[in-house]
Chain A
Amino acid sequence: MMLTDENKKYLLTGNEACAEAAIQAGCRFYYGYPITPQNEILTHMAIRMPQVGGTAIQVESELAAINMVHGSAAAGARAMTSSSSPGISLKQEGISYLAGSELPSVIVNIQRGGPGLGDISPSQADYFQAVKGGGHGDYYTIVLAPGSVQETADLVYDAFDLADRYRNPVMILGDAQLGQMMEAVIFNKKCGPDSYKKEWALTGANGRKRNIIKSFYPVQGELEEFNAKLQKKYNLIKSKEVRYEEINTEDADIVIVAYGTCARICKEVLMKNKTPNIKVGLLRPITLWPYPSQIIQEIAGKVRAILTVEMSAGQMVEDVRLSVLGRCPVHFYGRTGGGIPSPKDIIKKITEIISVNKKTIN
């Protein structure tokens, strides 16, 4: 299975596209532990990595996997691990260490229902964990949320690039639906690790001063200084890397805010909306951290209401409310535990919002 023809269309699952894009982005070290619904990433890596001279290991646990990523990233290589919700909980220790050691690395979370063992159907209930740090300490992971198989591949390239540019862990936040569905995908973006000189990496101190990769600052004041440096980096990322997609937000009465699979469903809502006097728009965050707060704030000043749609009991809606800061009502429609919102449900919710809104206006 060689998938290297540029501009040729391949029919792949989101998981396979994710794995292949990582290889084409120069990732040569992959460590994983099986968990549904992302097993195809591990199996694709097992086939493809040997073909490109890379390493794919099925390891004993998610803890080991993330720490192997830590080692390979410290050694200067592009490394990745993938998992689904319960496995990502285990990886949080390692992600905090990666952030504290400023190690570029890519972590894929193909979310499933929780809490606990939950189920294996799609969910967006790891939003808090992904965008608020997740592990201990003051840190952020850059979080990219694809909405299609093609975008999954495209964002994987960007993930490696952002990771190297900012020396920070980057998470691809998908879900079971995105991971399992098949779509046409073209691998047309190429990038390699060569453009980043990793002078800090551990390669053996031959002919240079030694390098140390650590996150331990026991001397009073040093850790505060280091945290200040991290926060400066996070602010830079916030100012430069926010991404989103806007559809029909210009003169909308209501704007839906949704990401990933939910955003796809909401695009259908926009097409199916048969209420001529209610104009519906969509704002789809592509980066969940940094969050597109600014544009949501601007939209809030122009619309009658914002509706947030998620496959969770209401997580991203908190960031929407923080962005809106009371400028307009924020409504929420969510499904949990593997429930997927249908366009019909969402249209019904919109109709409700408008009628309630009318009553309060009249």
Chain B
Amino acid sequence: MEAVYKTPETLIDTPTHYCPGCGHGIIHRLIAEIIDEKDIKGQTIGIAPVGCAVLAYNYMDIDMCEAAHGRPPAVATGIKRVHPDKIIFSYQGDGDLAAIGIAEIIHTANRGENITVIFVNNAVYGMTNGQMAPTTLINQKTLTTPQGRNEQSDGAPLRICELLSVIDGSRFIARASVTSPQNIIQTKQLIEKGFNTQIQKKGFSLIEVLSPCPVYWRMSSVESIKFIDEEMIKAFPLGIFKDWEGRN
């Protein structure tokens, strides 16, 4: 009998450290599936961030490197320049990429570095217990915005896809979410397109994924999904922002 659903070979069978309802696990699985399907396990090198996904290397059976907080795009650049034919991706949270690492991501995109970035936007700092992120929504309560994020004093949610899409070196920039089977399938297609962009040496690609953090949103898993679908996508509309094949 043919198995129609199984654990991807690239995904390591180990207990998860992520909280129930967290989006990181789904996104890890999508990456692993794509690596399997494209048969690039031996050619792929990943960079794990500082954040809840710091242990991403525990789950993916590929060569992986850790990077300091916010620096994965620079580390990815250093690896890619040595191995231009390998597939290099960085996996980063919103605190990592949009706050402390904003310079690295902008300049890596601007160099047109031929890498793929998976950007997990859960609108908070998960690992440090739920402080405000650059992507926290207006009025969203976090540990450091106890009254809700105030645009006047805290700034507005930073839209990374929109920001990066005006950079010439960006070649494929898209935003997706993992709130429904359809959205998950869409996310997978977009990440795959990111990898294809790199394999075809077209340059920098980034796929932002809106992802739940039920623990620090202080919501149930179901409420978290609703929050993304109803609130988060108002600030962060889904779609393709830049496509070297001209589909936007």
Q: Which residues of B contact A72 (CB under 8 A)?
A: 78-79, 81-82
A200 CB to closest chain B CB (Å) equals 10
Contact in complex: B42, A75 (CB < 8 Å): no
Could you list 14 further interchain pairs (A-B, Cβ under 8 angstroms) beyond the known A68-B74, A202-B65, A204-B83?
A57-B111, A64-B107, A67-B104, A68-B78, A70-B68, A70-B74, A71-B47, A74-B65, A202-B79, A203-B45, A212-B57, A213-B64, A214-B64, A216-B55
Interface band, chain B: 35 or more
Q: Which residue of A lies closest to B17 (CB)?
A: A218
28 A-B pairs with CB atoms under 8 Å apart are A29-B82, A64-B74, A67-B78, A68-B74, A68-B78, A70-B65, A70-B68, A70-B71, A71-B65, A71-B74, A71-B75, A71-B79, A71-B80, A75-B45, A77-B82, A202-B45, A202-B64, A204-B42, A204-B43, A204-B45, A204-B86, A207-B42, A210-B63, A211-B64, A213-B64, A214-B48, A214-B66, A215-B66
Check if A231 is an interface residue, CB within 8 A of chain B: no
Contact in complex: B76, A71 (CB < 8 Å): yes
Docked pose: A94 CA to B82 CA in angstroms: 19
Docked pose: A227 CA to B103 CA in angstroms: 32
Contact in complex: B68, A97 (CB < 8 Å): yes
Q: Which residues of B contact A319 (CB under 8 A)?
A: none
Q: Which residue of B lies closest to A211 (CB)?
A: B63
- Residue of B42, B43, B54, B66 contacting most chain A CB atoms (<10 Å): B66
Binding site for A on B (CB under 8 A): 41-45, 47-48, 54-55, 57, 61-68, 71, 74-83, 86, 103-104, 106-107, 111
Interface band, chain A: 35 or more
- Residue of A29, A57, A71, A216 contacting most chain B CB atoms (<10 Å): A71
Binding site for B on A (CB under 8 A): 29, 31, 55, 57, 59-61, 63-65, 67-77, 79, 93-94, 97, 101, 202-207, 210-216, 218
Q: Which residues of A contact B82 (CB under 8 A)?
A: 29, 71-72, 75-77
Contact in complex: B41, A205 (CB < 8 Å): yes
Known contacts A61-B103, A68-B74, A101-B66: A214-B81 contact under CB 8 Å: no
Q: Which residues of B contact A79 (CB under 8 A)?
A: 78
Q: Which residues of A contact B67 (CB under 8 A)?
A: 67, 70, 97
Docked pose: A31 CA to B79 CA in angstroms: 13
Contact in complex: B64, A212 (CB < 8 Å): yes
Docked pose: A210 CA to B66 CA in angstroms: 14
Top 3 closest pairs, chain A to chain B, by CB: A71-B78, A206-B42, A67-B74
Docked pose: A214 CA to B72 CA in angstroms: 13
A95 CB to closest chain B CB (Å) equals 11
Contact in complex: A31, B66 (CB < 8 Å): no
Q: Which residues of A contact B45 (CB under 8 A)?
A: 75, 202-204
A90 CB to closest chain B CB (Å) equals 11
Q: Which residues of A contact B86 (CB under 8 A)?
A: 203-204
**CB contact between B64 and one of A69, A210, A218 (< 8 Å): that residue:** A210
Q: Which residues of A contact B61 (CB under 8 A)?
A: 205, 210
Contact in complex: B78, A75 (CB < 8 Å): yes
Docked pose: A276 CA to B55 CA in angstroms: 68
Docked pose: A75 CA to B74 CA in angstroms: 13
A76 CB to closest chain B CB (Å) equals 7
Contact in complex: A213, B65 (CB < 8 Å): yes
Docked pose: A215 CA to B71 CA in angstroms: 14
Contact in complex: A68, B63 (CB < 8 Å): no
Contact in complex: A68, B81 (CB < 8 Å): yes
